[in-house]
Amino acid sequence: MGYDEAVRRGFDQCRARGYHCDLQEAHLTGNDVWKVKFRVDGRGEKGHLHLDYDAYSRNLIKVNDKVKDKGRDWDDDDWDGPGRGKKKGHAHRDD
C-alpha cells in the first residue's frame, strides 16, 4: 500500500464515522505500518482520529478515536459521578 491508498482508506474510515475529516499527516513507520492522522469535526464533536494500517495486508490494525463532545475532555476527568464532587475521601455508603 502506498501513501495515496493509505490516505484514501483513512478518509473512508473517517467519513464512515460521520466526521468531517482534515488530514494532519500520514507516514510509513519502520515496521511497515501506515499511520494516518486526522482532525475531525462532526455532530457536535471535535478531536482527532488516528488510524494504523498494515502496509502489506492493507488491514486496519488500530484505531485511536480521540473525539469528544464540545466542552468535555477526552478522558472524562471532569465527570462528577458517584464518589466525586464536594465530598472528598471515603464514604461508607453513597446516598
Q: How far apart are CA 8 and CA 23, in angstroms?
A: 10
CATH classification of 3-68, choosing from 3.90.550.10, 3.10.450.630, 3.40.50.300, 3.40.50.620? Answer: 3.10.450.630
CB atoms within 10 A of CB 53: 24
pTM, rounded to two decimals = 0.68
Closest by Cα among 41, 32, 39, 40 to 2: 32
Sequence-ordered strand ranges (E) for 1-95: 20-28, 33-42, 45-54, 60-69
Residues 27 and 53: their CA atoms lie apart, in Å, by 10
In this predicted model, what pLDDT tens digit does every residue of 29-73 receive, in sequence order? 989 999 999 998 877 788 899 999 999 999 999 999 888 876 555
Residue spans of the domains in the chain: they are 3-68
Banded pLDDT at 22 (limits 50, 70, 90)? very high
